[in-house]
Amino acid sequence: MSLSLALAVGGCARVRSSKLNPFNWFGRSEPREQVALPAAPQDARNLVGEVVSMAVEPLPTGAIVRATGRTPTQGWWNAELVAQPVTENGLLVLEFRILPPVTRTDVNLPQSREVTAALSLSQRKLENVREIVVQGQSNARSSRR
């Protein structure tokens, strides 16, 4: 009985750190060079000024990609992560799109100019994805499997 228990508990460490565990699929985000994309249908929204952070949070049905961007002034709205087609080498680029304020607004503190957007991705969409990149106007951040 003790031997069976020791073998079962010992196997848990291997599963926890293996690639089979969906909680290990994507690591922390890191700065990355921007990705040149082919011309896509025109989106009237601008790219966010700077991508401050991004995280890929696993779910039983896939993952949620959450990104925080910083705008030049307050009042930017309608933020969305717009997915581009997955490349043949498993790169998924999400453009962080946002609309500028309607009226003149203040600059104020950097934290007051941060906007967060998220996108839910299914297991099927993530099947061939090896790296997710969130791209802004001046930088990009990525997370790899």
Distance CA 136, CA 97 (A): 8
Residue 22 belongs to some domain of the structure: no
Question: Which residues, in sequence order, are bridge partners of residue 97?
Answer: 47, 80
pLDDT at 70: 97
Query: What is the count of structural domains for the chain?
Result: 1
Regions of the chain short of the pLDDT cut 50: none
Residue 11 belongs to some domain of the structure: no
Domain span at residue 59 reads 27-144
Residue 60 belongs to some domain of the structure: yes
Residue 48 belongs to some domain of the structure: yes
Residue 76 belongs to some domain of the structure: yes
What's the whole-model pTM score? 0.75
pLDDT at 62: 94
pLDDT at 108: 86
In Å, what is the CA distance from 5 to each residue of 9, 17, 86? 6, 20, 44
Residue 13 belongs to some domain of the structure: no
Name the burial class of residue 127, with classes exposed (0-12), middle (13-18) and buried (19+) by CB atoms within 10 angstroms of its CB: exposed
67 touches 94 (CB < 8 A): yes
pLDDT at 8: 63
HSE of 71, CA atoms in CB hemisphere, 13 A: 26
Amino acid type, 71 = T
Residue 19 belongs to some domain of the structure: no
Residue 62 belongs to some domain of the structure: yes
